[in-house]
Amino acid sequence: MKTRFKNFFSTKYGILTAGSIIGLIAVMLVRFGNPANMGICVACFLRDSVGALGFHRAAPVQYMRPELAGLILGSMLAAFLAKELKPRGGSAPLVRFFLGFFAMIGALAFLGCPWRVIIRIAGGDLNGLVGLAGLVTGIFVGVLFLKSGYSLGRTRAQTRAAGLIMPILSVVLLVFVIFKISPSENAPLFFSSGGPGSKHAAIAVSLLAGTIVGIVAQRSRFCTIGSFRDIFVIRDFHLFFGIAAMFVVILVYNIFTGNFNLGFESQPVAHSFHIWNFLGMGLSGIAFALAGGCPGRQFIMSGEGDNDSVIFIIGMGAGAAFAHNFQTAASGAGPGKFTAPAVITGIVVCIIIGTVFSRSKTRGV
Partner 1 sequence: MENKIDARGLSCPQPVILVQKALKDGALSLEIIVDNDVSKENVIRFAEGKYSMKTSVAQDGNDILLKITK
* Of 154, 160, 337, 361, the one binding partner 1 by CB under 8 A: 154
Distance CA 362, CA 177 (A): 42
Q: Is 361 in the site for partner 1 (CB under 8 A)?
A: no
Q: How far is CA 37 from the centre of its chain?
A: 15
* Of 91, 170, 224, 277, the one binding partner 1 by CB under 8 A: 91
Q: Is 356 in the site for partner 1 (CB under 8 A)?
A: no
Q: Is 151 in the site for partner 1 (CB under 8 A)?
A: yes
Q: Give me the least distance between CB of 10 and partner 1, in Å please.
A: 5
**Of 55, 38, 28, nearest to 112 (Cα)?**
38
**Of 116, 162, 107, 153, nearest to 302 (Cα)?**
162
Q: Give me the least distance between CB of 174 and partner 1, in Å please.
A: 27
Q: Give me the least distance between CB of 277 and partner 1, in Å please.
A: 27
Helix (H, G, I), strand (E, B) or coil at 334: strand
Query: Hey, what amino acid is at 257?
Result: T
Q: Give me the least distance between CB of 1 and partner 1, in Å please.
A: 17
Q: Give me the least distance between CB of 126 and partner 1, in Å please.
A: 31
74's CB contacts (< 8 A; 6+ apart) are 210, 211, 212, 213, 214, 215, 216, 217, 218, 303
Pick the closer one to partner 1 by CB: 258 or 364.
364
Q: Which stretch binds partner 1 (CB under 8 A): 63-71, 182-190, 225-233, 274-282?
A: 225-233
* Of 13, 157, 168, 334, the one binding partner 1 by CB under 8 A: 157
DSSP assignment of 297-323: HHHHHHHTTBHHHHHHHHHHHHHHHHH
* Of 156, 160, 359, 361, the one binding partner 1 by CB under 8 A: 156
Q: Give me the least distance between CB of 228 and partner 1, in Å please.
A: 11
* Of 221, 250, 273, 342, the one binding partner 1 by CB under 8 A: 221
189 cis-preceded (ω within 30 degrees of 0):
yes
Pick the closer one to partner 1 by CB: 51 or 292.
292
CB 118 within 8 A of CB 224: yes
316, burial (CB in 10 Å: exposed 0-12, middle 13-18, buried 19+):
buried
Q: Give me the least distance between CB of 17 and partner 1, in Å please.
A: 16
Q: Give me the residues that bind partner 1 (CB under 8 A), please.
A: 10, 82, 84, 86, 88, 91, 146-147, 151, 153-157, 221, 226, 229-230, 233-236, 238, 292, 308, 363
